[in-house]
Structure 1
Amino acid sequence: MAINNFKLKILSRAKLEVNEAANYYESKSKGLGKGFYLEFKNYSKTLRNIPFFEEKYNIVRILPLKKFPYTIHFTVDEDEKTVSIQAVTSNFQEPNSTRIKI
């Protein structure tokens, strides 16, 4: 399997959610925010190679992080070979308060 088969786009709202979560974890324990960011970054790399995870909402797919209670919400355009990360939400977040529009 070739590396980086898909281009990765991270929408600005998803970037904001990642930064908010990393800042929150960093405020709880030094280095924990960096750990969150690195896990997100590693999972993002996975999506570039293997983006066909569970389809949850119409065309929106999800990939839960393992060490942190967050889920990546993304879409895949097979024709353009692009993965677009739409949102990164807490598993404890009220579903109606997410920035993602389905």
Structure 2
Amino acid sequence: MAVNNFKLQILSRAKLEVDEAADYYENKSKGLGKTFYSEFKNYSKTLGNIPFFEEKYNIVRTLPLKKFPYTIHFTVDENKKIVSIQAVTSNHQDPNITRIKL
């Protein structure tokens, strides 16, 4: 089901997680942090057009990044046409300590 023109909201905690991951990768190898950020940005744009990916828990949907071991966690408000990115977590992170709290 392809739907266009969803407004994208990124919660501040998700922005912080993206920044932390980008900094981590940039410290590992120059330019890698920018590559991470670019992939996140491209996947975020995809969510604005096609937000109906796997519903993982309750109302939270997920979209894993391809090149990095991170997953975007988001909700979709079909009535208001809003995609809200709740968190961007490492696939190696303990799910019991994630910042996602809905």
Name the TM-score class by shorter chain: over 0.9
Q: Which residue does 1:29 correspond to in 2? A: 29
Shift of 1:97: 1.3
Name the TM-score, length of structure 1 as normaliser: 0.96
Computed over aligned residues only, the root mean square deviation of the Cα atoms, in angstroms, reads 1.2
SS in 2 for 1:8: strand
Matched, 1:40 2:46: no
* Aligned mates of 1:10, 1:101 — CA distance in 2: 15
Superposition pairs of residues 9-20 of structure 1, within 5 angstroms? 9-20=9-20
Q: Gaps (5+ residues) in structure 2?
A: none
* Aligned mates of 1:49, 1:26 — CA distance in 2: 29
Q: Stretches of 4+ moved more than 2 A in 1? A: none
Distance change (3 Å), C-alpha of 1:99 and 1:37:
same
Identity rate of aligned residues, in percent?
82
Distance change (3 Å), C-alpha of 1:80 and 1:69:
same
Name the TM-score, length of structure 2 as normaliser: 0.96
Aligned residues: 101
